[in-house]
Structure 1
Amino acid sequence: MWTYRGRQSATSVVTNSSRRLARGNRPPATPWRRYYASNGINGSEQPVNSHWLRNSLGVAGAGTAAFLAYDYATSNRTPAESPLEKVADLSQSVEDLGSQFVQQKRSLKSPGVFVWGNNAYRVADPNSKESVVKTPRNFTYFEGQVLRDLKIGEESGAAITANGDLVQWGKGYSEQDFKPAKTLTGKNLTSLCTSTDRILALSSDGKVYSLPVAKEDQVSGRKPKEGSWVPFWSGTAGVSYRLLQPSLKLGERVTALSSGLDHALLLTSSGRVFSVASSTENYPSFGQLGVPGLTWATRPKGPVDTLHEVTELKGSKIVQIAAGDYHSLALDKDGNVFAFGDNSFGQLGMTFNPGSPFRDIPTQVPIKKLYRGPWLAKATRVAAGGANSFFTVDAQRTLAPREDPTTVRDLGRITADTWTCGRGIWGALGNGKWTHVQDALIKVKTLSGLFEYDERANSLSPIRIRDISVGTTHVSAVMDNKTHVDAAPTTSLDETNDWGFDALWWGGNENHQLGTGRRSNLSKPSYINAPPEGDDQQEARLQIMPRHKGKVDRKTVSMEQRVECGRHISAIYSTP
């Protein structure tokens, strides 16, 4: 089967031309060139023999006719493909296609973690004294392991192992021994988030643990008493932590966490949102808790990390939460987005007001107003980090008033777009511009309006974003493109008609967190290369492996890869 990918615009080109070329079984086309030459050193014109000119034109015409006949006989074009056949520079297509399989084979050998970026605090590579790691590097401690979750900051890193234990490393964790070490164990943890100086971890039974990042505080702090499965036996926890207990209904439990520098959001199974101060250094003061009038002076009596329900969201069932440094986002089941917190860079998607730089009441982001005419817009994902926000939107073509449905060819078709707002001085907006304040939602054109043709279904389907991770100054998006030539589900990637998800990177690169090997920032989403392995120096485009089966401790485990962008640092890890 032959598949292509292209944007909705007729003037855009397909970025992944290598796959189209291979599946069409066509040789790379030699680009036409027009030469301008002059006879004589000084470029003066010379008379031209008319017979020679007629003969040359005749030969050229015959050659052109032969070329067109050959191209028509060997092209195998379909009507849906022809508008997108004009692609720029196919000279590297075959080589790029081969490099995809090289990187795929490397990823299939063993699961693990690749980290790159700032290493001043020994987070990217605890065994190296380098200040930065320029390209993706294997993290030896996690070699051959799958992780339930991974978060990396500038000063420390934290991960949850396959059996639910918390592992920490970096100088932010320990100045003396900054190599990975297990801290909170035996809790069957599933996910985590980190703030300035604390870690929040969610267990499989819905409990939320809050513990300090620093090893010294974990050891010297108050350790709670813990029960045991042995009757009449109890003990003391190995590290200091607190249990955060929101006021839940019968059968309700916490299902997701997200944190900024000073605050965190908790999402429950019933769609309610709770916020909490998650730093011991600063109390949230930019409205990011979503509680009107709440400040350090007006906080209720009790612990500083008391949980507050965001009551302004009670009328909506929230299905996803996201937190930037000082702002918060919430997506409900109907595709509406609510934002609150700091708006100094327009990260709430609302007009910046110097007299009131933040909002402490959740306010609906005008997603539906982005489309004029017969379009029904619905947000499908939110992501936040630093002072930036991202929204993925499905826009469905509907009927306009007095419009005849028999004349509308794209009725019901869904176009998947990505919108953003916030600080773009490092290029994190991904729109090709360097903007200080972007307080109106703007489309990331490189990630919007993409389609792929599925001959099994005989139709075009939108290419959505599978995952997006937003760091302090940089961003990565993983595309949800088909990873098998006939779009059939597979659990093995050892065949030549399988490949990975496309991954793109952009934004700040001051600490080499984009993995390009250079320090220059990128204002548009771009591909990067996978690291060479051993004696194999062939460059391979980095892709994210979809779910497949691999070996972990001699056991066959189903796993996939994920991307994590942190504070001037990036990582890719395998997760079950």
Structure 2
Amino acid sequence: MIRRQLLKKGITYRLLNCNHQLQTFALLNKSFTRKSSNTPKYDEAELLAPRLTSNEYKADKKRQNFQWQEKSEEELSKEYADRIEKMAKLKAMLQGLGILVTLGGVITIYSKWTSIHRWYLDRKLRFDLKYNKDSIQKKSSKKKSDNTKSTAPILPIIPIDEKAFDVPGVYVWGQTATNDLLYPTRISQFDNQKFRDICLSPKDSLPNLAIDQNGDLIKWDTSSHEFLLIDQNLISVKYSNEIAYALTKAGKILIIPVADHEMRYSHISSRRSWVKPWKTYQNYNLSLDTDQAFKHKNENYIKDFDTGDNHLVLISNACKAYSCSTGITDVRNDNIKSYGQFGIPIFSQFDPMPKTNKLYEIELLNAGLNEDKKLITREIDQIACGARHTIAKDKEGSVFAFGSNLFGQLGLPISYNNEYVSYPKKIGKFQSYFTRDEKFKCQNIFASDETSFVEMTSQTENEYYKNNSNISKRIFFSFGNGKNGTLGNGRYKNSQEEPSPIKVSNNDSTKIEDLSCGGDFVVGTTNDKSVLLWGDNSYGQLANGKKYKTCKPQYMPDILKANSTLTFNEFTETKLHLNEKQVIKPGKNSCCIYWKS
């Protein structure tokens, strides 16, 4: 029994000892596996020492630096060259990628520049809506409700001896050479005088011009005047490129260098009258040469003309249109270029300006193709020039435009292809405003610097075919630059290619009868001879005593009178009415009223 128990204990001890040896073998095998693999190396003996012996064990570790394999100078230089070559290739690849991205961005911006520019300006000009008259009235009413101090301007005092409004004379407001006039101011030196035409100065360095009852040319400002040309029988005068162009009653256009006295005097000579031998007359011989340009039958004088910044367009008595570059000397300045405003393809934006004061026939306007592709001739009866564009109307009531279209002033889509148009294109986007049984046509055209205006009239089919003159509808359209409210449609828009009706007022009985355009503001005359003004007001062009612009036509207040007791708010509620002989004439940044002779 005892032997059996001892034997059992011995077997158990052996089994335990064997199990311990197996565990040790497994750890050693695991250590060998780690050593043969690419893993961090450890001293397994040091880890297992506590299990193997009771004595302190310290591993024998070799302390020596890693022995790098030495390379020759040739191998080292080759490795360095390879490294430099790879860096150069990577740098060239990145530079090429950058150039491609930059070039693609530039091309995209250039092709979409018009849209980007319009988006930017539209975003920038949104704040303009805060400054129209309605918002200002709301602010003023809020101030009144809060019992705050009124900031209404004080009206100027009119001298007691000033002539009444119904006495012939001249009133001026807006920009002048000395200051800005916010209210119509009477020019006392012209009291009891009537004029054939007045041209206000486009810049401070040039004087205002006027043609008196005798057809003599006068230069003037608010305090003095002087005769420039006499005995020429002038009927109208306009500025272009700092030169005055005046139409005589005989149908000639004189070229007048207002600022160059020596040149002007060099073209003046004296002649003696055959009827009155004791009297001498001045003769001025600097004019546009029509002999070389007029080639149509019985075409021998100029009927009408208009000017832009650097161009002039005229209509002959044969109802043919011609254009020329304006100035005294030929300009070869990169800052002055053609924008297509001459209506002649050889003078596009890619070509130099035409020779100064040499007339060219606008053949593509004077003739064209009908619906059957047959050649027809047109009779042009009205033209209007903006700063860099021109619009024209024929006797059939069709409208044509050419020149700059940066803001849609030609009534064409704003795109790269239509940025500058050097030949006449027909405008035809008015059908949606008339019914199918209405026959409509253009009655009048007008142009400010960068905006165009068209008056369209319509008749029913019965009236049209009966040759009835009754007009059933009259609508004034505008298109182009409206950032200062020049469009008159109730919105401030940087550009607009689609014609939109001008919003007159809620009073259906008030209708615009005529328009006249300044640089960036518009004057309208209604059927009851009241005056509407809208657009830019930076210099007081709107004659309301302030300098905020408006995108809606507003009535012009009445002329201030001596001994008036009106407050400013009462003054703004008044309304000016012109008489039959009075004419309102806008300039670049100013306006005037004069009596027509």
* Common topology (TM > 0.5): yes
> 1:248-272 CA distances to partner (integer Å, 9 max, x unpaired)?
3435321112111111111122211
Label 1:134 to 1:368 Cα distance change in 2 as closer, same or farther (>3 A). closer
Amino acid corresponding to residue 357 of structure 2 in structure 1:
D
CA contact (8 A) 2:409 2:481 kept: yes
Amino acid corresponding to residue 264 of structure 1 in structure 2:
L
CA contact (8 A) 1:374 1:398 kept: yes
| Superposed displacement of residue 183, structure 1 | 0.3
Amino acid corresponding to residue 490 of structure 2 in structure 1:
G
| Superposed displacement of residue 157, structure 1 | 1.4
* Alpha-carbon separation, structure 2, partners of 1:137 and 1:518: 15
Label 1:236 to 1:143 Cα distance change in 2 as closer, same or farther (>3 A). closer
Other structure's SS at 2:245 match = strand
Establish whether residue 321 from structure 1 lines up as the match of residue 383 from structure 2.
Answer: yes
* Alpha-carbon separation, structure 2, partners of 1:146 and 1:529: 23
Amino acid corresponding to residue 516 of structure 2 in structure 1:
S
> 1:386-419 CA distances to partner (integer Å, 9 max, x unpaired)?
10110111122348xxxxxxxxxxx986111010
> 1:227-278 CA distances to partner (integer Å, 9 max, x unpaired)?
6234799999698944443533435321112111111111122211111111
* Alpha-carbon separation, structure 2, partners of 1:387 and 1:294: 20
Equivalent of residue 179 in structure 1, options 205, 211, 224: 224
2:443 corresponds in structure 1 to 380
Establish whether residue 466 from structure 1 lines up as the match of residue 487 from structure 2.
Answer: no
Label 1:225 to 1:147 Cα distance change in 2 as closer, same or farther (>3 A). closer
* Alpha-carbon separation, structure 1, partners of 2:199 and 2:505: 25
Higher helix share: 2
Amino acid corresponding to residue 175 of structure 2 in structure 1:
N
Label 1:284 to 1:149 Cα distance change in 2 as closer, same or farther (>3 A). farther
Establish whether residue 163 from structure 1 lines up as the match of residue 214 from structure 2.
Answer: yes
| Superposed displacement of residue 169, structure 1 | 3.1
Equivalent of residue 414 in structure 1, options 463, 472, 480: 472
Amino acid corresponding to residue 566 of structure 1 in structure 2:
G
1:255 corresponds in structure 2 to 303
Establish whether residue 562 from structure 1 lines up as the match of residue 583 from structure 2.
Answer: yes
Other structure's SS at 2:266 match = coil
Equivalent of residue 594 in structure 2, options 547, 565, 573: 573
1:111 corresponds in structure 2 to 168
Establish whether residue 475 from structure 1 lines up as the match of residue 475 from structure 2.
Answer: no
| Superposed displacement of residue 367, structure 1 | 4.7
Label 1:413 to 1:265 Cα distance change in 2 as closer, same or farther (>3 A). closer
* Alpha-carbon separation, structure 1, partners of 2:397 and 2:264: 43
CA contact (8 A) 2:337 2:352 kept: no
Amino acid corresponding to residue 190 of structure 1 in structure 2:
I
Other structure's SS at 2:553 match = strand
1:192 corresponds in structure 2 to 237
> 1:482-537 CA distances to partner (integer Å, 9 max, x unpaired)?
xxxxxxxxxxxxxxxxxxx0210000001111111011101100012123222134
1:88 corresponds in structure 2 to none
Label 1:183 to 1:397 Cα distance change in 2 as closer, same or farther (>3 A). same
Establish whether residue 396 from structure 1 lines up as the match of residue 456 from structure 2.
Answer: no
* Alpha-carbon separation, structure 2, partners of 1:379 and 1:190: 26
Establish whether residue 224 from structure 1 lines up as the match of residue 282 from structure 2.
Answer: no
* Alpha-carbon separation, structure 2, partners of 1:368 and 1:519: 34
1:484 corresponds in structure 2 to none
Establish whether residue 287 from structure 1 lines up as the match of residue 340 from structure 2.
Answer: yes
2:203 corresponds in structure 1 to 154
Q: How many residues matched?
A: 402
* Alpha-carbon separation, structure 2, partners of 1:322 and 1:529: 28
Q: Percent identity?
A: 26
Label 1:464 to 1:267 Cα distance change in 2 as closer, same or farther (>3 A). farther
| Superposed displacement of residue 158, structure 1 | 1.1
Amino acid corresponding to residue 358 of structure 2 in structure 1:
T
Other structure's SS at 2:229 match = coil
* Alpha-carbon separation, structure 2, partners of 1:443 and 1:366: 15
* Alpha-carbon separation, structure 1, partners of 2:303 and 2:565: 43
* Alpha-carbon separation, structure 2, partners of 1:466 and 1:260: 24
2:321 corresponds in structure 1 to 273
* Alpha-carbon separation, structure 2, partners of 1:264 and 1:115: 26
- Superposed CA RMSD in Å reads 3.2
Label 1:447 to 1:324 Cα distance change in 2 as closer, same or farther (>3 A). farther
CA contact (8 A) 2:165 2:559 kept: no
Label 1:524 to 1:421 Cα distance change in 2 as closer, same or farther (>3 A). same
Amino acid corresponding to residue 405 of structure 2 in structure 1:
N
* Alpha-carbon separation, structure 1, partners of 2:310 and 2:353: 18
* Alpha-carbon separation, structure 2, partners of 1:304 and 1:320: 23
Which ranges of structure 1 fall in alignment gaps of 5 or more residues? 1-104, 123-130, 172-177, 400-410, 453-462, 482-500, 548-559
Other structure's SS at 2:345 match = coil
* Alpha-carbon separation, structure 2, partners of 1:380 and 1:325: 22
Amino acid corresponding to residue 193 of structure 1 in structure 2:
K
* Alpha-carbon separation, structure 2, partners of 1:116 and 1:517: 10
CA contact (8 A) 1:193 1:259 kept: yes
Label 1:117 to 1:244 Cα distance change in 2 as closer, same or farther (>3 A). farther
1:175 corresponds in structure 2 to none
CA contact (8 A) 1:154 1:566 kept: no
Equivalent of residue 540 in structure 2, options 501, 509, 512: 512
Equivalent of residue 346 in structure 1, options 408, 415, 420: 408
Is the deviation greater in 532-541 or in 329-338?
532-541
Other structure's SS at 1:267 match = strand
Label 1:160 to 1:544 Cα distance change in 2 as closer, same or farther (>3 A). farther
- Structure 1 length-normalised TM: 0.64
CA contact (8 A) 2:429 2:498 kept: no
Label 1:293 to 1:537 Cα distance change in 2 as closer, same or farther (>3 A). farther
2:135 corresponds in structure 1 to none
* Alpha-carbon separation, structure 2, partners of 1:251 and 1:273: 12
Amino acid corresponding to residue 206 of structure 1 in structure 2:
G
Of the two, which has the highest radius of gyration? 2
Is the deviation greater in 414-423 or in 242-251?
242-251
CA contact (8 A) 2:450 2:480 kept: yes
Establish whether residue 245 from structure 1 lines up as the match of residue 298 from structure 2.
Answer: no
Amino acid corresponding to residue 500 of structure 2 in structure 1:
I
CA contact (8 A) 1:223 1:239 kept: no
1:75 corresponds in structure 2 to none
* Alpha-carbon separation, structure 1, partners of 2:505 and 2:359: 37
Higher strand share: 1
> 1:265-313 CA distances to partner (integer Å, 9 max, x unpaired)?
1112221111111135665501111111226996799x52101111112
Is the deviation greater in 244-253 or in 466-475?
244-253
* Alpha-carbon separation, structure 1, partners of 2:248 and 2:303: 9
| Superposed displacement of residue 154, structure 1 | 3.2
CA contact (8 A) 1:169 1:180 kept: yes
CA contact (8 A) 1:212 1:241 kept: no
1:427 corresponds in structure 2 to 485
Establish whether residue 264 from structure 1 lines up as the match of residue 312 from structure 2.
Answer: yes
1:309 corresponds in structure 2 to 361
Other structure's SS at 2:250 match = coil
CA contact (8 A) 1:367 1:378 kept: no
1:48 corresponds in structure 2 to none
* Alpha-carbon separation, structure 1, partners of 2:512 and 2:317: 24
2:193 corresponds in structure 1 to 145
CA contact (8 A) 2:454 2:478 kept: yes
Label 1:185 to 1:505 Cα distance change in 2 as closer, same or farther (>3 A). same
* Alpha-carbon separation, structure 2, partners of 1:236 and 1:139: 30
